[in-house]
Structure 1
């Protein structure tokens, strides 16, 4: 697995859970009581028997050395991966209290599963090395041309609808109802432009959504118009920006170019879901290249994606970048070692530089929602408390008001600050961040966007342990 005796933390184990109920249930099993015949090879496998409600204990095994993240096998009927038994077993193993000793030989049921996995991995590697069957390039070119024509027709129709809407004034958007937007989105799906369809649905949800909606509505109309025009005039764009436009419209992107080998630290992992798809985002930091990279994986609605990497660990692996200006997405390639604990972390910047980096990234991708940054030596503070402190020193007009419930990350030296995104203030991770700080500066990794900063991980001062806030 890793060096024998080096074990994960409880936070790194719980970061693998697919949802909050799984974390809670797994934590209850993270004690020695329910477990028997537990052991670890010290090279990647952890196993044990967990007493359940039936007459036979559940057989649970975890392969931590898998290149795509931990793999799990349990005889329980749960459809979650990992199930509560796998999480509980890893928590007991992480405790390093002797309940799960290293250097053991797996029992027959565990060895059989591990051997089958190794055999499949070898077969997969062999098939990947074999030359792929050549596809018909002419047929592929014709399919791409037909799809481009459909997207162009859809973008032209959407431009006309936007013009008609704005000609009548934004007040008319409030009376239109959502049905017309859904119809327009369906037209974009027919045009094979799912990216345009998604933005149309988002646009249709803005009218009557709260104070200031006309401003947000016009902003989204402008971005949608810009994307339309980018597609219609893509032949005039630089190659990188043209690739970004194609990706935003909904054309599939590809990982290209030479792979980059580095020691990648897993900074954060979190899932977002809609009625059709669960998307997992994993942020990586290359300790040698200084590069921040994004892994995306997908699962059917209600099911977690297969790829999972514990936060705070580092892996020696290759990644290949996707095309597009300012593109951070990569594809995970060959992994040379299993994930192992590390004290390394990305260097931090001040809040004003973080905002500037997001602004620069918008030049490459105007539709970018956020940009990954690490803030150094910041303190989570209520915006109102911070304002009152500055008013008392006479550095700010006391008549200015702000939402007393909002939070921000403040640099105590320069007094510059980044407000937290509204979605971040409703997460349990905010209170964990506040408790972790205790009023003292700490380093925080997250996403900086036009709605504010969303913290995803943090490091207390003089500590190398990554604390997940997702």
Structure 2
């Protein structure tokens, strides 16, 4: 018998909603896995394959060895296991199995979970339930299984780290002053080692947020014409962050929490959890030194809230948390401190994910710019703000592209990063000159599109558009 996320026997009324091919391929850790997984996406290589109503998918895939690879996927995580030696996550066999499952019931029918798959599924769900129980106990003031933490020791560690960050912020202030006194032109000299050396010093000071912003400064001189103005602006924002940290005891608590987050001090999720039907709006990875950072954006259908989840993986490996774009999960999400309270932690999930879900209603270009401006009041270091644009059309503009309101009243240029990605052409092809709904980030560099939906507006144009296709763009 399989267990639910609450540790109770799992009861389901029917089979779990099957994902689309695009949702499966979005889980691939790289392009090579996407290609090799697609080759296994037919019933031919598989035997003893099936699925059940709890979200379990399993199968045996013949390989070069004498024994077939045993592959199991728990789509409620999602989570994967395979007896192959691949270090990629998910491996090509898990991707291929999910592609077979996505193709329909005739290719992968419902059935009873075999013992070799059920053992892993039961163990995984039991461990997940225990982990959530420990977190809930800690949040309620209980004692975690690993033993009580010494409050005095925790306080001393926090004080020591705060002292290191303060020393780093003071040193950074001196280096910024030296740069401005010597002239910004020095930053463009070949072999100028200010940025990497300074970033390394911020890492030593246990302020990874400051280190990241310093590295970004190093890229500004190579960003094209007008770079001195941009460098001066970024230096001013960094000076503002330093000053805020050095005077953090004078700030309102909400702003102080934002400053702590910006310098690199993480805070656990707090406050009441929000249970909702969360639509997965976007998922994308970014290299961060020796780590890979994955960001997943969620939208609560009932609450109207936006949230994002962060997970990390060692270099060369994908983070463990993966949620296909377009899937809707019934789950609890707990927000973390900071302006906007967008970052959150995923808690208990109920039932199995559903492939049904409509995007946020969205708004105009002017409304998106206004939302970013409002958010800047609470977080001056905010590069962008998540928004959904309704009924916009991608249009060429000089050397770039822009999203224009269907009414033609306003437009947003796409960011340089968006112009260099294949997702731009997916967006153009999806639109075909007609309005689309687009979710992405609106900021001072423009709009960065993450996901798009083709739409058919209501006859009177008053209600939300009916979506016909979801296309990840990143």
TM-score by length of 2: 0.90
Match of 1:435 in 2: 429
Shift of 1:231: 0.6
* 1:40-55 paired onto structure 2 within 5 Å: 40-55=51-66
Q: Which of 28, 36, 45 lines up with 1:34 in the alignment?
A: 45
Give 5+ residue unaligned stretches, structure 2.
Answer: 1-11, 456-465
Match of 1:74 in 2: 82
Match of 1:200 in 2: 214
Q: Which of 74, 86, 91 lines up with 2:99 in the alignment?
A: 91
Match of 2:420 in 1: 426
Return the alpha-carbon distance in structure 2 between the equivalents of residues 319 and 121 of structure 1.
15
SS at match of 1:463: strand
Return the alpha-carbon distance in structure 1 between the equivalents of residues 31 and 56 of structure 2.
25
Change beyond 3 A, Cα 1:216–1:192: same
Shift of 1:131: 2.8
- Give the number of equivalent residue pairs: 446
Give the conservation status (yes or no) of the 8 Å contact 2:358–2:467.
no
Return the alpha-carbon distance in structure 2 between the equivalents of residues 464 and 317 of structure 1.
25
Change beyond 3 A, Cα 1:123–1:231: closer
SS at match of 1:56: coil
Give the conservation status (yes or no) of the 8 Å contact 1:322–1:331.
yes
Q: Does 1:12 align with 2:23?
A: yes
Shift of 1:316: 1.2
Change beyond 3 A, Cα 1:10–1:369: same
Shift of 1:125: 4.9
Q: Does 1:291 align with 2:285?
A: no
Q: Which of 106, 110, 119 lines up with 1:112 in the alignment?
A: 119
Return the alpha-carbon distance in structure 1 between the equivalents of residues 255 and 63 of structure 2.
56
Change beyond 3 A, Cα 1:413–1:158: same
Shift of 1:2: 8.1
Return the alpha-carbon distance in structure 2 between the equivalents of residues 115 and 257 of structure 1.
30
Change beyond 3 A, Cα 1:117–1:140: closer
Give per-residue Cα distances to partners, 1:275-298, cap 9 Å, x unaligned: 311000000000111011111111
Match of 1:314 in 2: 328
TM-score by length of 1: 0.90
Match of 1:256 in 2: 270
Give 5+ residue unaligned stretches, structure 1.
Answer: 384-403
Q: Does 1:56 align with 2:67?
A: yes
Q: Which of 168, 173, 186 lines up with 1:159 in the alignment?
A: 173
Shift of 1:123: 4.3
Match of 1:466 in 2: 470
Give per-residue Cα distances to partners, 1:185-215, cap 9 Å, x unaligned: 2222222222112212221232344222111
Give per-residue Cα distances to partners, 1:243-267, cap 9 Å, x unaligned: 1111111112221111111111111
Match of 1:397 in 2: none
Change beyond 3 A, Cα 1:283–1:173: same
Which aligned runs of 4 or more in structure 1 are off by greater than 6 angstroms? Answer: none
Change beyond 3 A, Cα 1:205–1:425: closer
Q: Which of 262, 265, 273 lines up with 2:279 in the alignment?
A: 265
* 1:168-317 paired onto structure 2 within 5 Å: 168-175=182-189, 177-317=191-331
Give the conservation status (yes or no) of the 8 Å contact 2:186–2:192.
no
Q: Which of 362, 369, 375 lines up with 2:376 in the alignment?
A: 362
